[in-house]
Structure 1
Amino acid sequence: MPRVTDLSSRIPRLSVTLPVGIGWARVRRTAARVGLVAAAVPVVTGLALMAAERLRRHRHPLDAPFPTAPPAHNTVGATTTTVYTFGDDLYAAMLDAIDHAEQHIFFETYIWKGDDVGRRFREALERAAARGVEVYVAYDAFANLVVRRSFFDLSARIHVLRFPWVRPGALVSPVRASGRDHRKLLVVDDEIGFVGGYNIGSHYARHWRDTHLRLVGPAVWELRNAFVDFWNRWRTPDLPMLKDVGSTAWLPQLRAARNSPSDLVFPIRNVYLDAIDRATSHVQITQAYFIPDREILAALLAAARRGVDVRVLVPERSNHVVADWLARGHYATLLRGGVRIFLYTDAMIHAKTATIDGRWSTVGTANIDRLSLTGNYELNIEIVDADVATTLERIFAMDLTNARELTSEEWEARPTLNKVGERLVSPLGPLL
């Protein structure tokens, strides 16, 4: 048998001896640097966009006149609804309700400016407390960091809950502990209630297009219950517990959906998904910040595929430029899928409303973005009523007169630099 020679022994072996650990140390350092760069790029891009927008806003402020409608009234069961589209009209109605309060006032807001309008609300609440009305106020500390703290030093007769902007557990459970109190509501004597997108301030009175809803009647319990639950959950030991009362009135066609991140409860997102999935004719959505997640995006595209006329109205420029650029990252997909996008021009539209098939509507505080749908405390009223839907459809048509439709051709032809910017800023999406 032929002899097989093992040639491997004749091949010279080369070996390089390196200091122990130097290779892995280099890899770790390189990985760390890459990670820092990857994290820094979207942040730096966002800061650059904010700086550029600040300069642009100085030259071209969002203060152009826009169409509004007078308060519109409808009846749902034993409850009267009123839709407001102009801040002066809304604030007058809210202040009138406060001035006629006899028993108690529950007032909750995200932003409360220390300007002329803010002082009018403060003075009205002080007058109510002075005449013996029980006044309870809740406001978000983080949203009002730029407002002097002394503005919120109300008289001892008023119970004030300053929702903390830093809370225990933020590092362990950021969803539960980092959400803001983004709600805006007022309840007077359990008879009149207000909820919607309007914060409190002079700028919002005339320069922002927003939408708010007033309820008069038994459905006000929906707002009272939302305030009481929030108050009792977050009150400090020096604040009184509010009585939790039931309701003998059931109105399934007018219900409140309340997000509560501390309990990981987020029904508003499900309300939108269920309503969009039911659409057979048309969907009309107005949003200040429109950054849909995968499921909502899929639901809108599915509706468009089955022939539903899906229209989304957003500001061409909002007060949050990073949110605008994140929203634009979805425009190509939406337009290719048959969703029509309308851009509100030369003014800020801050409304959070929708109506579907002339039957279902919602008005509230939640935007269609991560912060609102799975982060903040929010409150939306869901209404199944043809008359209310007709009112909101008329308002949507009015708003379209101050908007322009974005076409696929225009969007595809946008500058390459814009496309790059959208990609660079996209990692910030989970934060907003």
Structure 2
Amino acid sequence: MTKRETHPYTGTVKKLLWRSALAFAGTQAAVIGGLVATDAVKKSQRKKRTGFPRPGTYTSSVSDAVTTVYTYGADLYDAMIDEIDKAERHVFIQSYIWKDDETGRRFKDALGRAAERGVDVFVSYDGFANLVVRPRFYRFHPSVHVLRSPIFRPGIIFANPRSTGLDHRKILVVDDRVGFVGGYNIGAPYATEWRDTHLRIEGRSVWELRHAFISFWNNTRTSRHPELPDPGAGFWEPRLRSVSNAPAGMVFPIRGVYLAAINRATSHIFITTAYFIPDGQILDALTAASRRGVDVRVLVPEESNHVLSDWLSRGFYSELLDAGVTILLYENAMVHAKTATIDGKWTTVGTANIDRLSLSGNYEINMELYDDKLAADMERIFEVDSGNSRVLTPEEWQRRNVVARFAELVLVPLRPLL
């Protein structure tokens, strides 16, 4: 047989591999279709869920900043709109989802009033996340500067992370005096039906949020958008700082911050996340912490608004439970918070979930805070949320049926995508 001749079985093997790949893809599609259809039926039969416990609002001081943690959307929105109405110089607002409903219009009207009295207003939102919103809703007051992240990013065809990241941040900065950041999007359902967490900062550390907004604006604006000045902070405060993912620069520090905190833990790790699809390092860090005696608890929605994410998350439960990690399933409402507190000292509140899209895909921002009082407040919030959750036991998990196990296995290759 010459060098250029092909082994007689090569063509047959290639055909078998190709057919196997197609068959597996078809099986995946069938499983996903079945899950989505079943979830749609369940949601259509489900009554509106609003009866979850409200952990409350907590205020403390971190260095010279006053921080407030909000856990109920209606309270948060009132505070945000009140600050917009008091704005004198500028308002920066960035939201992943901004619904055309009563709540969305309240914010839009408040920004219009601010612009009317001469305040410089800058708005940024994600075009893809708001495809279902009528475009005319985003016609703000003529003086408002609006930056929409593109609906379609050509880089997605080539899987280029520099140009595929969604704008998943949620930021409000008013007059460099007060800032807000966290998991809440803008919309009526989030005001009363979802459990989420947002952080308010008052004082010079608002610069952390201002810088994040301005950096995003200046790096993504077009020639018709004004450039914003971005002065340095003029101070150093390691106890309260922002950590921002910026795909265009291939900068993804939030993941590293989580890993460093988890690896330092000696007492307890309390994590709340809407979508939990950890990569290998984070999974290993959590299981290693549990095996060395750390009380590791992960609180996730029993049923989120994304059924595929739920099933991908379940694929990690066996390894977590085997390592002694406590899995808490939040009931009767969607928990959308992205928070963690460790050893009564370290806390993070922000926009990033523990999944690939957040940790190495989208534009995200988390605050990292070192303060005993704030950590104690976050532990109280976690305790209230735990009271509305059920513990998934190893025995219950082992009793799941064969169909569920098969679905988990088939979906494993999709983990890197979400």
On whether the aligned pair clears a TM of 0.5, the verdict is yes
Alignment of 1:56 with 2:24, yes or no, is: no
CA distance in 2, matches of 1:172, 1:55: 35
Alignment of 1:413 with 2:399, yes or no, is: yes
Match of 1:293 in 2: 279
Query: Which SS does the other structure have where 1:157 is aligned?
Result: coil
Once the 2 structures are TM-superposed, how far is the Cα of residue 39 of structure 1 from its aligned partner? 2.4
Once the 2 structures are TM-superposed, how far is the Cα of residue 78 of structure 1 from its aligned partner? 1.1
Alignment of 1:321 with 2:307, yes or no, is: yes
Alignment of 1:251 with 2:237, yes or no, is: yes
Identity within the alignment, %: 54
Question: Residues 126-147 of structure 1, C-alpha deviation per residue, up to 9 Å, x if partnerless?
Answer: 1101110000000000000000
Query: Which SS does the other structure have where 1:171 is aligned?
Result: helix
Query: Which SS does the other structure have where 1:122 is aligned?
Result: helix
1:42–1:426: 8 Å Cα contact kept in structure 2? no
Match of 1:228 among 205, 209, 214: 214
Alignment of 1:181 with 2:153, yes or no, is: no
Question: Residues 346-375 of structure 1, C-alpha deviation per residue, up to 9 Å, x if partnerless?
Answer: 111000000000000000000000100010
Alignment of 1:364 with 2:350, yes or no, is: yes
Once the 2 structures are TM-superposed, how far is the Cα of residue 166 of structure 1 from its aligned partner? 1.9
Match of 2:246 in 1: 260
Once the 2 structures are TM-superposed, how far is the Cα of residue 156 of structure 1 from its aligned partner? 2.1
CA distance in 1, matches of 2:26, 2:147: 37
Once the 2 structures are TM-superposed, how far is the Cα of residue 154 of structure 1 from its aligned partner? 1.4
Query: Which SS does the other structure have where 2:29 is aligned?
Result: helix
CA distance in 2, matches of 1:64, 1:170: 37
AA in 2 matched with 1:96:
D
1:62–1:346: 8 Å Cα contact kept in structure 2? no
Match of 1:134 in 2: 120
Change in Cα spacing, 1:405 to 1:426, as seen in structure 2 (3 Å) is same
Structure 1 unaligned runs (5+)? Answer: 1-19
Alignment of 1:41 with 2:27, yes or no, is: yes
CA distance in 1, matches of 2:262, 2:293: 13
Query: Which SS does the other structure have where 1:83 is aligned?
Result: strand
Alignment of 1:146 with 2:157, yes or no, is: no
Change in Cα spacing, 1:124 to 1:413, as seen in structure 2 (3 Å) is same
- Give the number of the structure whose alpha-carbon radius of gyration is greater: 1
Match of 1:214 among 200, 223, 237: 200
Matches within 5 A, 1:310-389: 310-389=296-375
Runs of 4 or more above 6 Å deviation: 20-23
Could you state the TM-score of these two structures normalised by the residue count of structure 1?
Answer: 0.93
Question: Residues 77-101 of structure 1, C-alpha deviation per residue, up to 9 Å, x if partnerless?
Answer: 1110000000000000000010000
Once the 2 structures are TM-superposed, how far is the Cα of residue 247 of structure 1 from its aligned partner? 1.1
AA in 2 matched with 1:223:
L
Query: Which SS does the other structure have where 2:219 is aligned?
Result: helix
Match of 1:275 in 2: 261
Once the 2 structures are TM-superposed, how far is the Cα of residue 23 of structure 1 from its aligned partner? 6.5
2:176–2:210: 8 Å Cα contact kept in structure 1? yes
Query: Which SS does the other structure have where 2:87 is aligned?
Result: coil
Query: Which SS does the other structure have where 2:69 is aligned?
Result: strand
Query: Which SS does the other structure have where 1:396 is aligned?
Result: helix
Question: Residues 321-368 of structure 1, C-alpha deviation per residue, up to 9 Å, x if partnerless?
Answer: 110000000001000001001110111100000000000000000000
Matches within 5 A, 1:191-210: 191-210=177-196
Match of 1:99 in 2: 85
Change in Cα spacing, 1:175 to 1:43, as seen in structure 2 (3 Å) is farther
Change in Cα spacing, 1:150 to 1:21, as seen in structure 2 (3 Å) is farther
CA distance in 2, matches of 1:419, 1:190: 51
CA distance in 1, matches of 2:54, 2:369: 22
Question: Residues 89-121 of structure 1, C-alpha deviation per residue, up to 9 Å, x if partnerless?
Answer: 000000001000000010000000000000000
Structure 2 unaligned runs (5+)? Answer: 1-5
2:55–2:385: 8 Å Cα contact kept in structure 1? no
Count of residues paired in the alignment: 413
CA distance in 1, matches of 2:330, 2:55: 16
CA distance in 1, matches of 2:7, 2:29: 33
Root mean square deviation, CA, Å: 1.5
Match of 1:155 in 2: 141
Query: Which SS does the other structure have where 1:203 is aligned?
Result: helix
CA distance in 2, matches of 1:429, 1:165: 23
